[in-house]
A and B are shown apart, each in its own frame.
Chain A
């Protein structure tokens, strides 16, 4: 696998470790971490920060009978069987996405949004962020767009490039609202991404051909 060069920044990882991120963003970071040992190790350290903060709080002892009630219940407690329903373990789908994708990307009800791009909406988060899979065909290009909110992207398969660089499986990107960009899938394979957009994408449509040097170089 190619080395991962694009990671969530440390303060975002800290919020993930604290579980204080919107779940849609947490989903992207979780998918990245499954591919990235470096961030996984950082996370374990950040969890220790959380642990220390929690254990330094002034303890608040429970009433005396809470423990006894729990001890009485112990024998009747069994593991929640619902947990085991996630997909087959050999699936290339990250674990955190198997709640939406049971088997593989091929069985998803893809919706065509342009000749080059298909999408599949996984869900909406409570802040109305859209969580979707995007499939860009080999050599295909997405229209130039800007965002009203931040866009988080994790590459699940294949690779793509935009004005700023080339990205591979596991890479994690944040594009904020002030930026205009045009993702292009590389020529040899299609690209599948997880994308979370905080507000609907704003297409810059007609201007894209004038504004985008990649298209002028003949990628389109």
Chain B
């Protein structure tokens, strides 16, 4: 009997792991919907469990070892999720991408408030357009499919190209800073970004 229970649990575990990413996306979307419409704290807790580790990793990619900063970013992003769940349109925008844009915007905002990105320019209004999802020709079906393509495409990318993308997207380096960090000419940095985007076929209109 005990054995049976255990094997059931193992089976359940395998099933959960094999759960296709589209099913997982549907689950996460449902959580956001429940937060938006019912202020559902349990759904919020699920979203936290799913996303907080990635948000922390994103923060640590830029500031290795800064554990408290990572916690703060995770909280800040999840607060935005709580506040903005109602404005997230699940038919028009991929949920993972929505979380990424929130994390990116919070990180830039945090860096500025703490003088690490000192500027008289308020980044909030620069990037806020990106969060809202005006309907366009680029609909969700395409986005979810593109997400799969990018996922597999990134794995096949030559190391030197994915490395540049990580410097820019995760470590937040400008082309100039990436060229200094990798001791490469600026032109090489730019052409590797261009090649990577071409290989990923992100900018090919469908």
Contacts and interface: CB of A to CB of B under 8 A. Distances in A.
Contact of B125 (A11, A78, A96, A125): A96
A210 interface: no
Which of A33, A48, A124, A126: most chain B Cβ within 10 A? Answer: A48
Nearest to B52: A62
Given A40-B136, A41-B137, A48 B172 contact: no
Interface in B13-60: 41, 44-45, 48-49, 52-58, 60
A57 B151 contact: no
Interface residues of A, number: 62
A45 B149 CA distance: 11
Contact of A126 (B57, B100, B118): B118
A57 B173 contact: no
A83 interface: yes
Contacts of B203: 10, 42, 45-46
A43 B136 CA distance: 12
Contacts of B151: 52, 56
Nearest to A57: B57
Contact of A49 (B121, B129, B169): B169
- Chain B, interface SS category: helix
Contact of A55 (B54, B61, B108, B126): B54
A60 B56 contact: yes
A62 B71 contact: yes
A154 to B, nearest CB: 13
Contacts, number: 203
Contact of B56 (A18, A61, A67, A79): A61
B54 A54 contact: yes
B121 to A, nearest CB: 4
Contacts of B130: 43-44, 47
A98 interface: yes
Contacts of A54: 54-55, 57-58, 100, 103, 169-170
10 contacts: A14-B169, A14-B193, A19-B108, A20-B169, A21-B174, A41-B136, A48-B143, A48-B202, A54-B54, A62-B52
Interface of B: 41, 44-45, 48-49, 52-58, 60-61, 70-71, 74-75, 78-79, 82-83, 94, 96-97, 99-101, 103-105, 107-108, 117-130, 136-138, 143, 146-147, 150-151, 154, 165-166, 168-170, 172-175, 177, 190, 193-194, 197, 200, 202-203, 205
Given A11-B190, A95-B125, 11 more contacts: A10-B203, A15-B175, A18-B168, A19-B105, A44-B138, A51-B100, A51-B101, A52-B154, A57-B170, A95-B128, A131-B121
